[in-house]
Amino acid sequence: MSEFTSEKAFLEAYSIHEYDVPLLTVDMAIFSVLEDQLQVLLVKRAQHPSLGKWALPGGFVDTKRDKSLVETAKRKLRAKTGVATPYVEQVETFGGPERDPRGWSVTVAYMALIPAEGVELVPDDASSEVIWVPVKEMGSEYLLAFDHQSIFEVCLERLKNKVQYSSLPVNLLPKAFTLTELQRTFEIVLGQTVEKKSFRRRILDAGILEETGAMKTGSSRPAKLYRVRPEGQAYFFPRTIEGKR
Amino acid sequence: MSEFTSEKAFLEAYSIHEYDVPLLTVDMAIFSVLEDQLQVLLVKRAQHPSLGKWALPGGFVDTKRDKSLVETAKRKLRAKTGVATPYVEQVETFGGPERDPRGWSVTVAYMALIPAEGVELVPDDASSEVIWVPVKEMGSEYLLAFDHQSIFEVCLERLKNKVQYSSLPVNLLPKAFTLTELQRTFEIVLGQTVEKKSFRRRILDAGILEETGAMKTGSSRPAKLYRVRPEGQAYFFPRTIEGKR
DNA sequence: TCAATAGTGTCTATTAGACACTATTCC
DNA sequence: GGAATAGTGTCTAATAGACACTATTGA
C-alpha cells in the first residue's frame, strides 16, 4: 500500500520530474486532393533533431493552452494551413525507445482531410518549408525523419480502408460540389474506378448530402451542386465498395 | 533555426526534465465472457491517487523493459491474468489537463479479448483486488477512478461495433469450440440473437476456422469442434450483421 | 447536329435473412 | 419413440454492379 496517508499529501509530494517519463508528441498526416492526386503535407524541420529533414507536421502538447490532444493537432494544422475546421481523426499512437534519439518517445498520430482550395501553406519556427507531396512519391523521393514514413503509411492505409465503407472523402472537397467531382475524389483515394450509377445510389440513398439549389456550369450539361448535411461528415455504409466482379 | 550547430551537441544538452511534459500511462479494458455475460476486468487501486477506487488495469511504461506500448499493455495483462497470448488492440489515446490530479496526462487505451477458462486473477502491488464485472453493471454499481468510465465506454463501443463485421469474438473462446458456442458468444457481445444458418454460412465461408476432427459430446447430438486457423484471428466481413428485417 | 457530360432505367448476381426441414445423440 | 441440439435446403428480399439508355448544355 501507499506510504502516504492521504491523497492530498501524495499529490503535494508528487513531481513528474523524478520519473523517467517518455517524450510525448502529436504528429499528423494531412491529406488533400490537388491536381487529381492524393497529396500529403510535409514540413522541412528547422529544429534538432533531424534538422533539415522532411517530416510530418507535429510537435509537443502545449500544456498551458491545449485542453486535449485533438486540440494540439488542430492547432498545428491551423498554423501550417490556415484551415480552421478540418476533419481530424486519431489514427494510432506509437511508442518505443528507438524512434527518437532523445529517448523513449510516444507520438499520437492523427490524420486530417482538408479541401485544397484556398489553403496557403505557411512555414513557422519549427519548419522552414511546407509542401504538398503526392502520396505516390512518398517512400522514394522523400525520406522522412524519425519513424514518420511508417506513421504516414499507417495513416494512408486507414484512409484508403475507410473510403471503402464511409463518406469521408466529402471532407476533401469544397463546400459545394457535384456528384461527379465527389466520385472522382473517391476514385483518386481508392485508386480504382467506381461505377457511376452504383456510386450515385449509394451516396444519395445515404442521405448525407443536400442540393444547394445551384448548378455548376461550364463544360456541357450543368450539374447539380450538393453540400454535406450538418451530420453527414462521416456516414458508414453497411457494405464496402466491391469493385468489378 | 537552432542554436546548436550539430545534432550531437543538441542531444548532449537535451534534458526532458526541463520541459513540462504530460504524464503517460497505458490502460486497458480486458473483456471476457463468463456465465453467459460479457465481463470486464477491474482492479481496486492500492496506490494514490484514487486509492481504493475501482479502475481499469494499467500503469506506466517501463522504459527499461518495454520496447513498445503494446508490450506495456501485454505485460500488465499478463500480471493480472496470467494470459500470455491475448488478442490486444489499441483503441484510442486520451489526454487533457483534468483527467488526473497530477496534471496534464495522457493514457493510451487498449482493449483485450481473452478466454475466461483457466484464468486466475491475481492482485499485485498496484491493485488490492482484481475482479470480473458484467458490463451491464458498469456505470451504476462500480464508480471508476479518473476518466476510466468513459474510456471503458469507448472500448466497449469499439468492441460492439467491430463484432458487426469481424471475427473478433473467436478470441473470447478456448482453443476448440463448437459453432453453437461461437454463435452464442457473438450474440452475447452483440446483445441480439443471430440467425443460425446465416451465421454458419458467414463464418464457414470466411474460411477462418478449421475442424479439429474431434466432437463435443454431452448434451444430445455431438457437435463438431473447430479451431481458429493461424491467420484467422481478425477476419473482416464485407457486410455487417444486419439483424431482423 | 454533334460532342461532352449529367443523370436514369433496369437487368443480373450475390448474399443475408427466414424458416422449415433432416440428422444424431441420450434418455 | 421423444426431447434436445446439430446441421442443411432452399426461398425471398435487398442491394451493388453492369451497361445501355435518355437529358441538357455549348459550340
DSSP string, B40-53: EEEEEE-SSSSTT-
Rounded CA separation B156/B152 (Å) = 6
Q: Decide whether A20-162 matches A165-228 in CATH topology.
A: no
- A49/B10 Cβ within 8 A: yes
Determine the angle formed by the axes of helices B179-190 and B148-163, rounding to 10 degrees: 130
- The confidence band for B40, taking pLDDT boundaries of 50, 70 and 90, is very high
List, for residues B149-208, the tens digit of each pLDDT value: 999 999 999 999 999 999 999 999 999 999 999 999 999 999 999 999 999 999 999 999
Rounded CA separation B93/B91 (Å) = 7
- The confidence band for B111, taking pLDDT boundaries of 50, 70 and 90, is very high
Rounded CA separation B156/B153 (Å) = 5
Q: What is the mean pLDDT of chain B?
A: 92
Domain B165-228 sits in CATH 1.10.10.10: yes
**Strand D nucleotides with an atom less than 7 Å from a protein beta carbon:** 3-10, 13-20, 23-26
Cell of A39: 497529396
Q: Name the nucleotide nearest A221; use CA and C1'.
A: D25
Domain A20-162 sits in CATH 3.40.50.850: no
Q: Is the pLDDT of residue B212 over 80?
A: yes
Instruction: Measure B216 CA to nearest chain A CA, in Å.
Output: 35
Domain ranges of chain B: 19-162, 165-228
List, for residues A98-128, the tens digit of each pLDDT value: 999 999 999 999 999 999 998 999 888 888 8
CA A150 / C1′ C15 distance in Å: 37
**Which architecture, in CATH terms, is B19-162?**
Alpha-Beta Complex (3.90)
Rounded CA separation B142/B159 (Å) = 20
Q: Is the pLDDT of residue B17 over 70?
A: no
Show the low-confidence residues of chain A (pLDDT under 50). 1-2
Cell of B153: 465506454
